[in-house]
Amino acid sequence: MYQYYAKWIREGKLKVNSDWNKDLKIKFTVQDPCQIVRKSYGDEVADDLRYVVKSIVGEENFIDMTPNKSNNYCCGGGGGALQSGYKEQRLQYGIVKDKQIKVTKADYCIAACHNCHAQIHELSEHYGGNYSVVHLWTLICLSLGILGENERAYLGDDLKEVAVYGA
């Protein structure tokens, strides 16, 4: 989907806008999902993912992790790990990802993969990350001004009221 989102944004078919974050200056980083980036399409899809993210949050509000793209670290939540029953081992493995996110000092980590989202959310809570985790589609909808009030569960207090119409 990242490639389609990028294509549609470039073609003007998906009219996202980062103006909502112009004054807020909320900082975001992005997790590169293992399956689609490292194991499948590589840096090309990672570049498209970054294009989408910068289009929806503002280029000046994006902080990339190091390493990133095809060299980014696994969060430890994929491949059935979330359902394996080995929670402590999964969290211990994920400490590398938690530290990597903390170094960026980003307010949010964008996770385009559901497994990454669940794992990173739990890592932030477990290790006191002080960063929120948000799905990519949530921010796309926010940037389009169509994110419903009932779709804001993973937004921090700084974003809960952004682009809520009729409030």
Asked if 28 contacts 57 with a C-beta cutoff of 8 angstroms, the reply is yes
Residue 151 has pLDDT above 60, yes or no: yes
Closest CA to 53 of 13, 97, 5: 5
Identify the weakest region by mean pLDDT among 53-62, 94-103, 110-119, 149-158. Answer: 149-158
Rounded average pLDDT over 108-117: 93
Residue 165 has pLDDT above 70, yes or no: no
Answer yes or no: CATH 3.30.70 is held by domain 2-151: no
Contact residues for 81 (Cβ-Cβ < 8 A; gap 6+): 90, 93, 115, 119
Q: Would you call 33 exposed, middle or buried from its count of C-beta atoms within 10 A (0-12, 13-18, 19+)?
A: buried
Per-residue confidence band for 166, with pLDDT thresholds at 50, 70 and 90: very low
Q: Where are the beta strands (DSSP E) in 2-158?
A: 28-31, 108-111, 132-135
Identify the weakest region by mean pLDDT among 5-9, 21-25, 37-41, 123-127. Answer: 37-41
Q: How confident is the model over 133-150, as pLDDT tens digits?
A: 999 999 999 999 998 888
Peptide bond into 33 cis (omega under 30): no
Q: What are the residue boundaries of the structural domains of the chain, listed by start?
A: 2-151
